[in-house]
Amino acid sequence: MRASFLLSMIIWLGMLLPPAFAQTLDAGASDESTSVSTVLPDPLTEDAARALVSKLSDEEVRALLLERLDLVAKEQLAKPGSGDQIGMFGFLSQSIIGIGNNFSIAVQRLPVLFGGLQRGLDNFLNGRGLAGALQFVGLIIAAVLTGLAAEWLVNRGVDKWRPQKSDIRPGTLTETLQALSVRLFFDLVGLIAFALIARIAIGLAMSAPIDRFIAWSFVVQLIVKVRLVSVVLRFVLAPSNPDLRLVTADDWTARFLHRNLLIIAALLAAIGFLIPALARNGVPMGELRLAWWLNLAAYVWVIYTIWTVRDGITRILVGEDEDITPGMRQCADWWPQIAIALVVLNWVLIEIIASAGRFDLLQGQQNVALALILMMPVFDTMIRGLVNHLTPPLQGEGQIAERAYRQTKLSYVRMGRVILVVAGILIVTRLWGIKPLQLAEAGFGAQLAGRGIGALLILAAGYLAWEMLNCWANGKLANEQTEGAPDMGGGEGGGSGGSRLATVLPIVRLASQGAILTIAALLALGHLGLNITALLAGAGIVGLAVGFGAQTLVRDIVSGVFFLLDDAFRVGEYVDIDGTMGTVDKISVRSLHLRHHMGPIHIIPYGEIPKLTNMSRDWAMVKLKFTVPFDTDVMKVKRLFRQIGEDLMKIPEIAETMLQPFKFQGVYGYDDVGIIVRGKFMAKAGMQFAAKKEILARVRKGFEENGIEFARKEVRVKVPGLDGATELDEKQKEAIAAGASQAAEKMIDEAAGGSGGR
d(CA 266, CA 218): 11
Q: What is the mean pLDDT of residues 226-231?
A: 92
The larger pLDDT score, comparing residue 361 to residue 700, is at 700
The larger pLDDT score, comparing residue 419 to residue 199, is at 199
Give the model confidence (pLDDT) of 532-584 as tens digits.
776 666 666 666 666 665 667 777 777 777 777 777 777 777 888 887 888 88
Least confident of 79-93, 196-210, 583-597, 654-668: 79-93
- Evaluate if residue 50 carries a pLDDT over 90: no
Q: Which residue segments constitute the domains of the chain, with CATH numbers given?
A: 1-77 (no CATH), 531-596 (no CATH), 619-705 (3.30.70.100)
pLDDT the model gives residue 252: 92
Around Cβ 17, how many Cβ atoms within 10 Å?
14
- Evaluate if residue 469 carries a pLDDT over 50: yes
d(CA 249, CA 314): 9
d(CA 440, CA 425): 17
pLDDT the model gives residue 476: 66
Around Cβ 204, how many Cβ atoms within 10 Å?
12
Q: Are 389 and 358 in contact (CB under 8 A)?
A: no
Least confident of 68-82, 232-246, 607-621, 639-653: 68-82
- Secondary structure string (H, E, C) spanning 223-282: HHHHHHHHHHHHHHHCCCCHHHCCCCCCHHHHHHHHHHHHHHHHHHHHHHHHHHHHHHCC
| DSSP-assigned letters across all residues of 93-140 | HHHHHHHHHHHHHHHHHGGGHHHHHHHHHHHHHTTTHHHHHHHHHHHH
Write 504-510 long-range contacts (CB < 8 A, 24+): 504/564, 505/473, 505/476, 505/477, 506/473, 506/587, 507/564, 507/587, 507/589, 508/473, 509/469, 509/470, 509/473, 510/589
pLDDT the model gives residue 37: 37
pLDDT the model gives residue 146: 93
Least confident of 111-120, 261-270, 316-325: 316-325
- Evaluate if residue 307 carries a pLDDT over 90: yes
pLDDT the model gives residue 30: 35
- Evaluate if residue 707 carries a pLDDT over 50: yes
Distance of CA 548 to the CA centre of its chain: 43
- Evaluate if residue 624 carries a pLDDT over 60: yes
d(CA 706, CA 529): 90
pLDDT the model gives residue 468: 79
pLDDT the model gives residue 306: 92
pLDDT the model gives residue 226: 92
Distance of CA 566 to the CA centre of its chain: 38
User: Residue 253's closest CA among 382, 378, 385, 169?
Assistant: 378
